[in-house]
């Protein structure tokens, strides 16, 4: 198939199906063929059913242009392959040129999906989604099966608002995150000492992407369920990575596929959490754990505003969701920031100047304060520019809850909406020289409204913004303080597995250096 090569997303998400002839197959030839046949029939029947409804919609309304392609799959393979290879902008530009419209439709994950333009389409998606009378949150069904039905991103309406209020009040709100500052800094210092300084020499090459994933995973797992045992953490982390890759896998739940492996990983993660939940219940009874010790304690002791206490299953799925959201995306952004900083000496020099000014008025070893973090303003523009070039979430989905008119087209109820970062973040009509790494663009004028949404937007904006921001700023402070580095492979390919990463783990050559 065109576009499917050795760097294809398909190679990693479909995986190797078990041999039809080998004795190791638990299905046997006939059994596996039966499963494949039933799956094919289900796809065809689903397509026939959805196709009839689609044709009726298109007869009755002037809908956005577009070719829905193959049954069920439609443009899924082409879109996700572009996602994996970071060529979404090329994909979108090709569609716009073909249909003559910045608003067009395609079939993704079995659903008719309208690509919205920027900034007007993005504004509509975020603002009209606030009361959900027109637009509500949406994730593809295959993704929801992986994250679970009771997590925040899967909810809508009053249930969503109640859940988010509980999360912000007790765990992720600005004032609450301030309480974690000491733990975040301690974790950052220990991580840099243990993984970057001890046992290395000047010229040592470390895979930054993989080492940073250790830091963010251990930090968020500690905040969520006081997971401090290194052996336990190392046992769990690879399973999380298998699960995360399934979020953008072809939704074929057959042995050997990436999606099947991710579903298995999800079950293993929830099973891992089970003894932690039961043990914590006893510790809370005994007084050996506190109600605010971590997110697990909070979920066990704090009901929501309706008086509902979270069930064990809800607790486990929410912790899974939070660890992934807090660890994977932060590690990805830090990796990309470290790559861009070393490529731009003027950015590095300005960062050193900012962090020197923060440190020079403090005693040696004096911890950072909230004011110190707030004063890392240039550092934050570096992170913002990194997220513009390498967004952790390259696309945001919504669902039409009512039929409405937009840009001369009718969008029927039930159709899905998608705004891609590529249509905004890499748009030369919005950002001058969009391919250029230039943090000063956020110093000068900031981002135009509804064109920069690395954390989403509207009422559904990511609740973890403050935790992510503090974690990245504190880590970069201590990284800049102790190390200089260069890229060991400047031409390394950037790829996406839900979040940005590099094909070889982003190897960097380090030099120990006390900068301030």
CATH number at residue 291: 1.10.630.10
Structural domain contains residue 3: no
Write down the pTM of the prediction.
0.89
In a domain, 479, yes or no: yes
pLDDT in tens, 312-338: 999 999 999 999 999 999 999 999 999
Please indicate, yes or no, if residue 2 is contained in any of the structural domains.
no
74: left (phi over 0), alpha (psi -120 to 50) or beta: left
- 156 assigned to some structural domain: yes
Element (DSSP H or E) covering residue 57: helix 28-60
Taking only Cα atoms into account, the Rg of the chain, rounded to an integer number of angstroms, comes to 24
Count of beta carbons in the 10 Å neighbourhood of residue 194:
13
Q: How far apart are CA 106 and CA 66, in angstroms?
A: 6
Q: Do strands 494-497 and 499-502 pair parallel, antiparallel, or not at all (unpaired)?
A: antiparallel
Alpha helix locations (H) across 287-368?
A: 295-301, 312-343, 345-359
Detail the residues annotated as belonging to a binding site: 462
State the pLDDT at residue 2.
35
Tell me what pLDDT residue 446 has: 80
pLDDT of the residue at 58: 61
Binding site, annotated residues for heme: 462
**C-alpha span between 166 and 306 (Å, rounded):** 10
Domain count, the chain: 1
Q: Which parts of the chain have pLDDT scores under 70? A: 1-59, 129
Q: Would you say 142 and 259 are in contact if contact means Cβ atoms under 8 Å apart?
A: yes
Containing structural domain, residue 360:
9-512
CA 149, distance to chain mean position in Å, is 18
- Number of H-type helices and E-type strands within the chain: 20, 12
Please report whether residue 167 resides in a domain: yes
Beta bridge partners of 454: 456
The answer as to whether 345 is a domain residue is yes
Residue 4 lies in a domain: no
**Residue 22's pLDDT is what?**
37
Q: Is residue 1, in this structure, part of any structural domain at all?
A: no
**Confidence at residue 41, expressed as pLDDT on a 0 to 100 scale:** 52
The structure tokens listed for 405 are: 């008119």
């Amino acid at each position: 198939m065109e576009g499917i090569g050795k760097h294809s997303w398909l190679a990693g998400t479909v995986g190797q199906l078990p041999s039809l002839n080998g004795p190791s197959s638990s299905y046997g030839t006939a059994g596996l063929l039966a499963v494949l046949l039933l799956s094919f029939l289900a796809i065809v029947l689903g397509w026939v059913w959805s196709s009839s409804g689609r044709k009726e919609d298109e007869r009755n309304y002037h809908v956005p242009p577009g070719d829905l392609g193959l049954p069920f799959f439609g443009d899924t393979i082409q879109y996700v392959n572009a996602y994996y290879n970071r060529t979404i902008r090329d994909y979108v530009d090709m569609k716009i040129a073909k249909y003559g419209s910045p608003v067009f439709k395609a079939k993704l994950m079995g659903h008719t999906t309208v690509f919205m333009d920027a900034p007007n389409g993005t504004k509509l998606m975020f603002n009209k989604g606030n009361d959900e009378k027109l637009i509500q949150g949406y994730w593809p069904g295959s993704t929801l099966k992986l994250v679970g039905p009771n997590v925040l991103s899967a909810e809508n309406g009053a249930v969503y608002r109640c859940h988010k209020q509980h999360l912000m009040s007790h765990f992720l709100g600005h004032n609450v995150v301030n309480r974690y500052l000491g733990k975040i800094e301690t974790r950052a210092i220990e991580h840099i000492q243990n993984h970057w300084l001890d046992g290395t020499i000047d010229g040592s090459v470390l895979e930054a992407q993989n080492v940073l994933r250790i830091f963010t995973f251990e930090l968020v797992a500690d905040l969520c369920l006081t997971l401090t045992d290194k052996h336990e953490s190392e046992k769990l982390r690879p399973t999380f990575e298998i699960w995360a890759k399934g979020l953008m896998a072809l939704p074929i739940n057959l042995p050997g596929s990436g999606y099947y492996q991710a579903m298995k990983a999800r079950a293993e993660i929830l099973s891992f959490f089970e003894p932690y939940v039961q043990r914590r219940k006893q510790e809370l009874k005994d007084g050996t754990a506190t109600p605010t010790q971590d997110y697990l304690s909070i979920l066990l002791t704090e009901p929501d505003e309706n008086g509902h206490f979270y069930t064990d299953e809800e607790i486990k799925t929410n912790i899974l969701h939070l660890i992934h959201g807090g660890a994977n995306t932060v590690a990805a952004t830090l990796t990309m920031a470290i790559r861009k900083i070393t490529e731009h000496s003027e950015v590095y020099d300005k960062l050193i100047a900012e962090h020197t000014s923060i440190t020079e008025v403090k005693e040696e070893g004096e911890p950072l304060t909230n004011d110190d973090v707030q004063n890392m303003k240039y550092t934050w523009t570096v992170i913002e520019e990194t997220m513009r070039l390498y967004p952790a979430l390259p696309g945001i989905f919504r669902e039409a809850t009512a039929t409405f008119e937009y840009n001369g087209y009718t969008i029927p109820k039930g159709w899905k909406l998608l705004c891609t970062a590529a249509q905004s973040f890499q748009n030369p009509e919005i950002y001058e020289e969009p391919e250029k790494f230039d943090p000063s663009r956020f110093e000068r004028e900031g981002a135009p409204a509804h064109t920069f949404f690395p954390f989403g937007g509207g009422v559904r904006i990511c609740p973890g913004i403050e935790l992510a921001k503090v974690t990245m700023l504190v880590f970069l402070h201590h990284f800049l303080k102790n190390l200089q580095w260069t890229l060991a492979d400047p031409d390394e390919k950037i790829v996406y597995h839900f979040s940005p990463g590099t094909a070889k783990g982003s190897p960097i050559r380090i030099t120990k250096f006390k900068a301030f």
